[in-house]
Amino acid sequence: MPELIASNSLGFLLVDVARLFRQEFERAVVEAGMSLTPGEIRALLYVWRFEGSRQAVLAERMGVEPMTMSAYLDRLESRDLVERKVDKNDRRAKVVTTTAAAAAVFEEIRPLATAMYDRLVTGFSEEERDVVQQLLTRIRLNLTTDPQIVGEPPIMPAVGKGRSSETLYRTA
């Protein structure tokens, strides 16, 4: 008989924490009455995080089907939050970028993300927060060599500021 994996094994913990985090995020978005759905917010964050990527790449990174990503992008584009352009290297493909209007959504998300982060690390010292982030970053490095993923994540802009302004959230 195969040996069962303990519910506190590293793999199980990573998957379970990710699941719980996503559920909490979705609940918080619905309770806050945000103007976008949780999926649309995630898609917008992925577009911003991987600015100028092709739709198919965004879908893969977000872990959704290409048609699901296309539907999210249709809705975001109809609100003037993203723009799709023909890829200069392959006219058959489209790349996606955020628009200036997306900054207002990022500001709407900021308090929610800050509260979620605070809850996530409740009871952690600053040193423990740093250690957890370093260890998770090393795990990610062990699992991918994609330079856009292993590089330092960009910092979400505040309204009226560039991409190098204050931190909102570094987990997109």
Q: Is residue 160 part of a domain?
A: no
Q: Is residue 171 part of a domain?
A: no
Amino acid at 169: Y
Domain that holds residue 49: 10-150
Give the Cβ contact number of residue 132 at 10 Å. 13
pLDDT at position 1 is 52
Q: Is residue 91 part of a domain?
A: yes
Q: Is residue 172 part of a domain?
A: no
Of the listed ranges 37-41, 102-106, 153-157, the least confidently predicted one is: 153-157
Instruction: Give the DSSP letter string of 132-158.
Output: HHHHHHHHHHHH---HHHHSPPPPPPP
pLDDT at position 28 is 93
State pLDDT tens for residues 60-73.
Answer: 999 999 999 999 99
- The pTM of the full predicted model, rounded to 2 decimals, is 0.78
Q: What is the total count of domains within the chain?
A: 1
Query: Would you place residue 162 in the very low, low, confident or very high pLDDT band (cuts 50, 70, 90)?
Result: very low
Q: Is residue 83 part of a domain?
A: yes
Q: If you search the block for the tokens 């979705």, which residue do you land on?
A: 26
Among 13, 32, 17, 48, which residue's Cα sits nearest to residue 120?
17
Q: Is residue 155 part of a domain?
A: no
| Contact yes or no for 41/34 (Cβ under 8 A) | yes
Q: Is residue 76 part of a domain?
A: yes
Q: Is residue 170 part of a domain?
A: no
State pLDDT tens for residues 97-113.
Answer: 999 999 999 999 999 99
φ/ψ of residue 143, rounded to 5: -105, -15
For residue 80, the domain's CATH number is 1.10.10.10
pLDDT at 172 over 80: no
